[in-house]
Chain A
Amino acid sequence: MVQSALSRPGQRERYDSKIGQIDWVFVTLLAMLAGIGALIQYSVGGMSWEPWAYSQLRNFALFLAMALVLAVVDLRFWLWLAYPSYAVSLILLILVELIGDTRMGAQRWLEFGPISFQPSEFMKLAIVLALARFYHERKPEDANWSFWLLVPALMIAVPSALVMHQPDLGTGMLILLTGGAVMVLAGLNWKAIAGAGLMGAISVPLAYFFVLHDYQRNRILTFLNPEGDPSGEGYHILQSKIAMGSGGLLGKGLGLGSQSQLNFLPEKHTDFIMAAVSEELGMVGGAMVLLLSGTIIIMALRMAALSHSHFGRLAASGAIATYACYVLINGAMVMGLFPVVGIPMPLVSYGGSVMLTVMAGFGLILGVKVHRYQELPKQSSMLANLME
């Protein structure tokens, strides 16, 4: 870096120097992950670009462009966007509850003319921004232990409860975990963390008996004993394990995975794509995805830590926490270590809306790095500053 050039007043605000500040190694890693995903989608689509590989690559190109644009957006814009986006997402979630479209037994979708979308996807990013802004404006002591903490607690609890009620246990849990991660990173008292952990441990069995739907309970039972019902609920887990196990070290080869090609593996191109990767590319392929994901997470946390603003730090780390939850939960689910919840492997699994969410998150992370020297005011006159 040419430090002297950057230290000239106004230099950092120029878009060409901002683009130079984008972490292109990080972008390359993202592209590699999406590339592996497209490769496998090409394979399980019957060695064909249709129906999945082509649109996956097109989506990635589109969303990557969007992420790069977001990366050069001033942090003050994100800060300004935090509360309104949270408010809009919350309203949409309530709308889903009232008038949402029911698909496959779950009420998740809103339709505006030709566009249908899941507001819960927006909430994943909005909750991160809103929490980051909240902590940005509070004193560090308040983040540790104070009555102020009721605010973030409610900010997390309300949307996650709404999403879980749809019912979308996976996304609800993701919002809860992401929010929790931001609270911990902001400096939550260890005793409070321990207490929350304890409460979680107690609430799991309670939720099992009083809150969960039958199909969700079945999934958990199946998870605990997948061999008990190999043709019903346990089928997914068993077939996934067979696919991975039979792949061996080097895999069966692209297009040669019998489990994925002959439809024994369910949701082979979406939630269970990791099993298809491991079957066709072997442990080398599976480990590659895990290694890429891990590198992305560590790099993002480092970028977050470099930020001079508390908002930037928390927003970037919150966004990467969402991604980390996706990877860990999906990985554990596919390998039979966690019950089947509808959580895909971001960038690798086929699907536009999840890719949109995580790529927006990566755009934010890249932006935090680009704007790492930017100091942000503590009060809410940013819009005025932005307009100057």
Chain B
Amino acid sequence: MPEMSIVFNDINKSQGVFTRRAFLIGGLTALGLFALGTRLAHLQIVQGGKYSTLSARNQFNFRVIPPPRGDILDRHGRVIAGNRPSFRVMIETNEVKDINSTLDQVAYILPQTVAMRRRILRDINQNKRSVPTLIAGDLSWEDFSKVSLYAADIPGVVADMDQLRAYHHGGAFSHVVGYVSKINAADMKVEGEKPDADINLLHHPSFRIGKQGIEKSHDNILRGTAGGNKMEVDAGGKVVGEDGDGSIAAMPGADVTLTLDLDIQNRALEAFGTDSGSAVMMNIHTGEIICMVSAPSFDPNLFVSGIPTKAYRLLADYERKPLLDKSVGSTFAPGSTFKMATALAILDAGINPEEQVFCRGGYQVGNRFFRCHGVHGSVNMRNAHKFSCDTYFYSMCNRAGVDRIAKFAGKLGLGHTWDGFEIDGQKRGLIPTEQWKRDYFNGTKGRANDPKWHPGETASVAIGQGYVHVSPLQLAVYASRIANGMKAVEPHLVRQIGDKVIDHTKDFADLGIPKAHLDIVRGGMWAVSNEPGGTGRTNSQLDLGPNITISGKTGTAQVIDYAKAGTRKAADWMHKDHGLFVCFGPSDAPKYACAVVVEHGVAGGRFAAPKAREIMRLAMIKDPEIQKRIVGPVSTALDTAALARGEAAGASDMPNEGQPAETPPAD
């Protein structure tokens, strides 16, 4: 090669190529950088909001603050279901590395948790990681102070105060108010699918869901809205700080005020003692239920933290069925308490109420002789009520017809359920009609093929036996509508939600029964409770002076056919007659109506009326307007002597004998 040869042509040429290509490469690089800048703008400006949300979601965890559940109050604002403090210790699974060693440390402080280890580990596995798991609840003050002292040194262990549901009046409200309990898998599925479901709250160990009664039907109102403690966490989920400003306070649930009166409710349960049955008492103008008990009852507090299986079985297996709300969920043959409906149908058929029927101890309908419980001689409609004479109704009923009887029973609320009623579990019962019998006894599904209605069946229905089945709630509405006379009053349990008072009165339909007819029936009921010889007289005396009386009707419903089951006396509890009593008062200006059913309570006058008396008496004493009309010294205590007198001495009421009650078809 030539030494130091410089070929200018070459140099110029390669320099030219280089310059052009350097421009190109520089341009491409600039383009690339511009593209990156555009991408940057797209990420940071256009999609900035989306990524800010994601970033915040990364950075913060919300520790759920469960909302305090709303109280349930009686009509005077006294707390029936409230919250009580409970000390507990929990484990924040998110913040714990080694669960077993953490539990070991807790067990060192609280030796009782050793035995719970399996349950705790199971709960931890089932729970979402974002919610804590309960290690132990309802700690004593000593245990709680010990745990609080050491919890700070065990990461992920939190000792705090929780609110637990407390039912201050035990069993008196168990069926109406219901109870709350821990959420189960089935509830979780239903609740979790709701559009506004707060999954973290549902999984929180403090959360309780309403399972029965008002607690269930008004769960959303009582529940409130969960808050959150905004916790700053790092990529490992470890809490690095708390953002006080970002925390959201929990919104407590609204209080629900019931129409029930605490005193009357307690009195009613007391009056029942160990008897089984139900009492419903209501305001005949507003439909507000003042008292509704089902006896025997149970302690709803047992369910809040989970009832032990053994205790549950005892309740579930007891023949008097404490868990069942008999007020709405049981139906009974109404017996003689049904006679007012029959009487109104007879009047509607144009029969003169003064027309006499001669009772010689029974009446022949078709080929069967229907017995009366006594021999009453000549009776008109009023006396047929007073003596509860079956013969009168046997002889008259077929002139009215079963369909007419059913129409009046229906108007008065029997065989009805109310959509607006605030708790679940209403049973419709049955008011038979000819059409019903055609549809039901059609020979299918193992039923008899007997579609024709027989006059004898009308005779059974007329005295509230046979196919007739009604619930205590329906009987209370029935008594209310008879007393009201104008409006088809409907029952309600809730008076107020939060600050909002609910007016139930506005939409009651007209009853459409002539006042003259109702006066005759009401007069019959007055005679039952107040005239000598009335079947309910002994046990209807309120002892509040002459101004304040009640008008009632006793009933005794036969459960089985004694021809098959031996004598009445020999029958065991399950087969004894039901005792019933319906009434309203004060007789001159009715305000309250009451229905009492004593299951297998032998006779209405003896067992049901004294209980109704206690309830009505207290209602009268507590009513400020009625109070003014009371004459003489008044004891407000439970009149145990009167209750005992009724049971021991008995009354003039004797059981009916009609067709035995049959198991009503499921409605």
Contacts and interface: CB of A to CB of B under 8 A. Distances in A.
Interface of A: 139-140, 143, 181, 184-187, 239, 241-249, 258-259, 262-264, 278, 282-283, 286-287, 290, 293-294, 297-298, 301, 304-305, 310, 313-314, 317, 321, 324, 327-328, 331-332, 335, 337, 375, 377-379
B240 interface: yes
B115 interface: no
Interface in B39-78: 39-41, 43-45, 47-48, 50-52, 54-56, 58-59
Contact of A287 (B4, B11, B37, B47): B37
A242 B55 contact: yes
B21 interface: yes
Given A140-B14, A297-B29, A263 B36 contact: no
B26 A246 contact: no
B152 to A, nearest CB: 23
A184 B24 CA distance: 10
Given A249-B45, A328-B33, A263 B55 contact: no
Contact of B33 (A139, A239, A262, A294): A294
B18 A314 contact: yes
Contacts of A282: 44
A284 B477 CA distance: 76
B178 to A, nearest CB: 43
Given A185-B22, A331-B36, A247 B54 contact: no
Contacts of B236: 263
Contacts of B58: 239, 242, 258-259, 262, 264
A287 B18 contact: no
Contacts of A298: 26, 29-30
A149 to B, nearest CB: 15
A294 B29 contact: yes
A313 B15 CA distance: 9
Determine chain A's interface SS by DSSP, over half rule.
helix
Interface stretch (B130-138, B156-164, B179-187, B227-235): B227-235
A305 B47 CA distance: 41
Contacts of B55: 242-243, 245-246, 258-259
17 contacts: A139-B10, A185-B22, A186-B17, A187-B18, A244-B51, A245-B48, A245-B50, A247-B44, A248-B44, A249-B45, A264-B235, A297-B26, A298-B29, A310-B15, A313-B18, A317-B22, A375-B6
Contacts of A375: 6
A142 to B, nearest CB: 10
Interface string B1-27: 101111000110111011101100110
A310 B16 CA distance: 11
B130 to A, nearest CB: 15
A301 B1 contact: no
A236 B278 CA distance: 68
B51 A242 contact: yes
Given A290-B33, A310-B15, A317-B22, 14 more contacts: A143-B17, A186-B17, A239-B58, A242-B54, A248-B52, A259-B58, A262-B59, A262-B234, A286-B44, A290-B40, A297-B26, A298-B29, A378-B1, A379-B1
B12 to A, nearest CB: 9
A26 B15 CA distance: 23
A245 B44 contact: yes
A194 B13 CA distance: 22
B32 interface: yes
A324 B28 CA distance: 10
Interface residues of B, number: 45
A249 B47 CA distance: 11
B251 to A, nearest CB: 28
A337 B37 contact: no
Interface of B: 1, 3-6, 10-11, 13-15, 17-19, 21-22, 25-26, 29-30, 32-33, 36-37, 39-41, 43-45, 47-48, 50-52, 54-56, 58-59, 232-236, 240
Contacts of A290: 33, 36-37, 40
B25 A181 contact: yes
Contacts of A337: 36, 39
A140 B32 CA distance: 29
B40 A187 contact: no
A244 B44 contact: yes
Contacts of A249: 44-45, 48
A278 B275 CA distance: 78
B18 A185 contact: yes
Nearest to A144: B17
B41 to A, nearest CB: 6
B22 A287 contact: no
A354 B26 CA distance: 22
Contacts of A301: 22, 25-26
B17 A378 contact: no
Contact of B22 (A143, A246, A305): A305
Contact of A283 (B13, B41, B235): B41
Q: Which 7 A-B pairs have the closest CB atoms?
A: A245-B51, A246-B55, A258-B59, A187-B17, A262-B234, A263-B235, A283-B44
Contacts of A187: 14, 17-18, 21
Contacts of B18: 185-187, 304-305, 310, 313-314, 317
B497 to A, nearest CB: 42
A248 B36 contact: no
Contacts of A241: 43, 51
Nearest to B4: A377
Contact of B51 (A246, A317, A327): A246
A283 B37 CA distance: 9
A140 B48 contact: no
A157 to B, nearest CB: 21
Given A301-B26, A377-B4, A283 B232 contact: no
